[in-house]
Amino acid sequence: MLRSSATAVARQDRESGSRADDHRALRLWLRLLTCTYLIEGRVRGRLRERFATTLPRFDLMSQLERHPEGLKMNELSRRMMVTGGNVTGIVDQLAKEGLVERQPDPSDRRALRVRLTRAGERGFAEMARAHEEWIVATLSGLNRREHGQLFRLLAKVKQNALMNIEKGAT
């Protein structure tokens, strides 16, 4: 069953639409998208099944876990690369569940900081441990040397993409 569902996904992924005569860079781009889609889909499903939560909620809590002093809403929005409205909706839900709280910002009376509550810290720690296990298992087909190679190659891709963005390249 698992093999047949993986085969079905492979037939429908973005990469399978590429042709041998497509530019190699295009085929690499499609491979990256496919890998991202497959891994993200699996993580989303596991978060939903095991923790009854979503990836955006996990991502927001992850940002807050890295900043125990809390973050302003606009900082959360920028870090998550989503609109303020999306962040507000997620924060509202998490606050109702007692996982985050809003507190006045000591340096700006008009602003609020969002931070994890103790329950949020405990809940996120459990999710983060599971998330790490899932990612480690997903990438376990590569050895340590291959991990290093892939990391370095993707760093070069990222650096080049950032340079092209700065140059305004299309």
What total of structural domains would you count in the chain?
A: 3
User: Within this chain, do residues 6 and 30 fall inside the same structural domain, yes or no?
Assistant: yes
User: Within this chain, do residues 133 and 66 fall inside the same structural domain, yes or no?
Assistant: yes
* Residue ending a domain, choose from 52, 68, 85: 52
Please give the residue range of the domain that contains residue 148. 143-170
CA–CA dist 114, 94 (Å, integer): 10
User: Within this chain, do residues 100 and 63 fall inside the same structural domain, yes or no?
Assistant: yes
Instruction: Flag whether the pTM goes above 0.85.
Output: no
User: Within this chain, do residues 65 and 17 fall inside the same structural domain, yes or no?
Assistant: no
User: Within this chain, do residues 128 and 62 fall inside the same structural domain, yes or no?
Assistant: yes
Amino acid at 114: V
User: Within this chain, do residues 68 and 129 fall inside the same structural domain, yes or no?
Assistant: yes
CA–CA dist 53, 25 (Å, integer): 36
User: Within this chain, do residues 100 and 115 fall inside the same structural domain, yes or no?
Assistant: yes
What would the pLDDT profile of 44-78 be if each residue is shown by its tens digit?
A: 999 999 999 999 999 999 999 999 999 999 999 99
pLDDT score of 1: 41
Q: What is the CATH number of the domain that holds 127?
A: 1.10.10.10
User: Within this chain, do residues 14 and 42 fall inside the same structural domain, yes or no?
Assistant: yes
User: Within this chain, do residues 2 and 35 fall inside the same structural domain, yes or no?
Assistant: yes
What would the pLDDT profile of 115-134 be if each residue is shown by its tens digit?
A: 999 999 999 999 999 999 99
What would the pLDDT profile of 1-55 be if each residue is shown by its tens digit?
A: 444 455 445 445 666 665 666 688 888 999 999 999 999 999 999 999 999 999 9
Q: Which residues contact 83 (CB under 8 A, 6 or more apart)?
A: 77
Q: What is the DSSP letter of 13?
A: S
User: Within this chain, do residues 97 and 151 fall inside the same structural domain, yes or no?
Assistant: no
User: Within this chain, do residues 73 and 126 fall inside the same structural domain, yes or no?
Assistant: yes
User: Within this chain, do residues 47 and 98 fall inside the same structural domain, yes or no?
Assistant: no
β-pairing verdict for 100-105 and 108-116 = antiparallel
